[in-house]
Amino acid sequence: MNKIRELLDDIKKVRNDLVAQSNPHFQDLTNIIYKWENKLATKQGTCSCGRSPTGLCVGWHLLTEEQYGEKKKQYEEMPEEKKQTIFHSRAIDGLGE
């Protein structure tokens, strides 16, 4: 997914240069960007902000930069066994814990 984001960033740079030239292809590129940003944002369960350590949305998009830095540091300091289970859903009856 990061490669798609990199591509979108490159397209945005080209598009922004076209604005200065009043190029008619500006809107076409804008439409492509919106289309793919929307696909990335709505892909079920996946992280669209790029902050998740697992690739799945864990809610870190709601954190401030400072909070995100703290959470990321805490995650990186966890033992590998805990990293594998920390963000996985648990059974409602507690058996998954």
Q: What is the predicted pLDDT for the residue at 70?
A: 94
| CB neighbourhood size of 70 (10 A) | 12
Mean pLDDT for 8-32 is 82
pTM: 0.46
Highest mean pLDDT among 33-42, 61-70, 82-91: 61-70
Question: For position 74, what pLDDT does the model report?
Answer: 92
Tell me the per-residue pLDDT of 26-65, one tens digit each, with 9 for 90 and over.
888 888 888 877 777 666 567 778 888 888 788 888 889 9
